[in-house]
Chains A and B, each alone.
Chain A
Amino acid sequence: MRPAHLRPLRAVAAVAAVGLTLTACATTSGTTTDATETAASASGTFPVTLTNTFGETTVEAQPERVATVNWGNHDVPIALGVAPVGIQLTTYGDDDGDGVLPWTFAGLEALDATGDALPELFDETDGIPFEQVANTEPDVVLAAYSGLTEEDWTTLSEIAPTVSYPEFAWGTSWKDMALIDGEALGLKAEAQALVDDVLAQIDEALAERPDVEGKTVAYTWIDPADPSTIGVYTPLDARVQLLSDLGLVDAPSVVELAGDTDQFYVNLSAEEADTLADVDVLVTYGDDTTLETLQADPLIGKIPAVERGSVVVVPNAEPISAATSGPTVLSIPWVLEDYLDLFQAAAEQVG
């Protein structure tokens, strides 16, 4: 379970995802097909040893049965052409209630791994269901992007070699997630190619949206029922790291607020809202009413970005928020155009 994904607002506007899905499927299946070919031909040298915060993980031979836990890790093997035997059941942002996000589902479809062949879904709401994971008899468990505790890691490692995050819980970028999870599969070079491909897509999309590049940004969480506190995601957080890849710059105030924390977000009292005066574009979760609510707040309304409306409101608990708050090599191509449109629109408001 990832707390940051579980921070929805009350009312959620319906956003038509049909257009999104069409574009995304095209991109996704293209990527996957390429990867399938590479996966079939290439295999790295084993054993592979990976170091993480809790210790070392050695994968002795090319894994055939791959289980993944925690947010988004399954997208890496899927993009590399390997259908996992078990993946996290995802509820945040799931549009059709099947527990699998649309880009992941499209990827599984391309690998003929839907219907009866669908991976086992691990319901992690109340912690990782270790027994269920063990029942899938995995050769490896991938969780390069995760909030595993040492205890989780130890337990999982008894089931199969388990890949954890290199340094900070929930602090692995989508690129590192792909490279680390990919390396454990013996497909590091292929993972690197995937990452390069996504970066190229980003460059292309950015070229059409000239105002985004170089704007300073703060990614926030504000509870409309309690605006006395502003949650600010730190540069450690994967969704913030995605913004750097999209050409945006962490506002100096955010960097200073984060200090040397190892947490993926910090809280700022609304009384200090003007700390964020150097932010060009403020990002937050919400719906159609959010900007108006923020502007009406006597303290939060003092943030220049809020005042002038250069705010990106990511529709909460929709596929677009799921795709960008825990970005992966599959979710970014799926969401890129729409996400950047939001930033272009906000960036145009900056004087």
Chain B
Amino acid sequence: MTLLHPTPTASSGGRSASLRRRRSVGLTVAVAGLALAVLASLAFGTRVVGWQDVVAGVLHPDMDVIAQAAVQSRVARTVLGLLVGAALGLAGAVMQGLTRNPLADPLLLGVSSGASLFVVMGIAWLGLSTLTQYVWLAFAGAAAASALVYGIGSLGREGATPLKLALAGAATSAALSSAVSMVLLSRTDVFDTFRFWQIGSIGRADLADIARVAPFLLVGAVLAVGCARGMDALALGDELATGLGQRTLVVRLVGALAVVLLCGTAVAIAGPIGFVGLVVPHLARAFTGPSHRWLLPYSAVLGAALLLVADVVGRVVARPQEIEVGIVTAVLGAPVFIAIIRRRQVREL
């Protein structure tokens, strides 16, 4: 748990040489970790497959051999895991930066629940059924939920404090999840189509679907990285950021748009997956310090690695069953969440 110690902003300047070394070592570690996670995701599954079949299954699968067909099915799943994990990691880092809230996470702040609710309502009442329709619904839901949470969290004299945001997010998230159940109960005839929007999974990956949503993720990622410098300034407080020439409102809006795109797309294609966005930025900060220009790419790499590892765990622990990745991330993430709360002063970031 030493990884979770934050690098204090004030002292990082004085230790820039060691920070630089830590960043480059960390980057190597993170990229190596991601590479291992990709290999594991291709090699390990419910079915035990020999390495020859793994190689053949990826490069030139003979689909008549079930081992190679199984490996082939893991390719799309791995690509989806990479994209969704990176999106969640990025979104978490942006949310934590924008709100100066160490507990921000797409699921905890209600953004994923908002996206799920809109998708579920669209299926139940509007009869929508294509991924493209889900994506737009998810964007609308994520945006509405973010606005709601931020609005509630900003009530009162002292504005949107981290604690108030976390409370508003938790309450909204709970309310939205209940609303999802309410819609499901009103339409039990289509219950199973929805089940997926309650527990995230990347098992249904399909390369054509992935190609359809990848542009949204790309735009979201570019926007996120684009407001990195602005978020560095925000970390000093709004007054100081404005004094340094940052237009705080623009940074917040662009960042929020990035979050909506990243989370909305992730939810539309994989369902709500929690804790990746929460945990990953904290791991990343141990290497990068508070600079968002470093923190964001790190979070993307670590998010992808974490999600893939969680998915592999879900595939192998309950053979011959599979456990949805959303359950695994919750099981892995909850203790980290508690550790963060216990070890840090929640109000500081």
Contact = CB atoms under 8 A, between A and B. Distances in A.
Contact of A6 (B70, B192, B201, B320): B192
A226 B190 contact: no
Interface string B58-72: 000001001001101
Nearest to B61: A298
B219 interface: no
A7 B320 contact: no
Contact of B196 (A7, A225, A267): A225
Interface in A94-142: 125-126
A5 B212 CA distance: 34
Given A8-B190, A226-B201, A302-B66, A269 B45 contact: yes
B204 A298 contact: no
A266 interface: yes
Tell me which of A92, A257, A266, A272 has the highest count of chain B C-beta atoms within 10 A of its own C-beta: A272
A229 B196 CA distance: 13
Interface string B294-330: 0000000000000000000001000111100000000
Contact of B73 (A225, A270, A272, A275): A270
Contacts of A298: 63, 69, 72-73
Nearest to B68: A298
A271 B185 contact: no
A128 B147 CA distance: 37
Interface size class of B (residues with CB under 8 A): 20 to 34
A230 to B, nearest CB: 9
Tell me which of B45, B47, B196, B320 has the highest count of chain A C-beta atoms within 10 A of its own C-beta: B320
A302 B69 CA distance: 10
B63 A223 contact: no
Contact of A126 (B77, B185, B203, B320): B185
Given A271-B73, A298-B73, A91 B189 contact: yes
Interface string A214-232: 0000000001011111000
A50 B321 CA distance: 37
Contacts, number: 82
B133 interface: no
Contact of A273 (B66, B193, B322): B66
B30 to A, nearest CB: 28
A304 to B, nearest CB: 12
Interface in B71-88: 72-73, 77
A317 interface: yes
A274 interface: yes
B191 interface: yes
B129 interface: yes
Contacts of B321: 229, 266-269
Contacts of B47: 269, 271-272
B46 interface: yes
Interface string B192-224: 110010000101100000000000000000000
B134 to A, nearest CB: 11
B7 interface: no
Contacts of B72: 298
A269 B73 contact: no
A225 B193 CA distance: 8
Nearest to B205: A228
Contact of B129 (A10, A125, A126): A10
Contacts of B24: none
Interface string B169-204: 000000000000000010011111100100001011
A266 to B, nearest CB: 7
Contacts of B190: 8, 10
Top 9 A-B residue pairs of the complex, sorted by shortest distance between their CB atoms? A269-B46, A228-B203, A271-B47, A226-B204, A271-B70, A298-B69, A267-B321, A271-B46, A272-B320
20 contacts: A6-B188, A6-B189, A8-B189, A8-B192, A10-B129, A92-B189, A125-B185, A126-B185, A228-B201, A228-B203, A268-B320, A269-B46, A270-B73, A271-B47, A272-B47, A272-B319, A298-B63, A298-B73, A299-B73, A302-B66
Given A8-B192, A228-B322, A271-B70, 19 more contacts: A6-B191, A7-B191, A8-B190, A8-B191, A91-B188, A92-B188, A92-B189, A125-B188, A226-B203, A226-B204, A229-B321, A229-B322, A267-B322, A268-B321, A271-B45, A271-B46, A273-B66, A298-B63, A299-B70
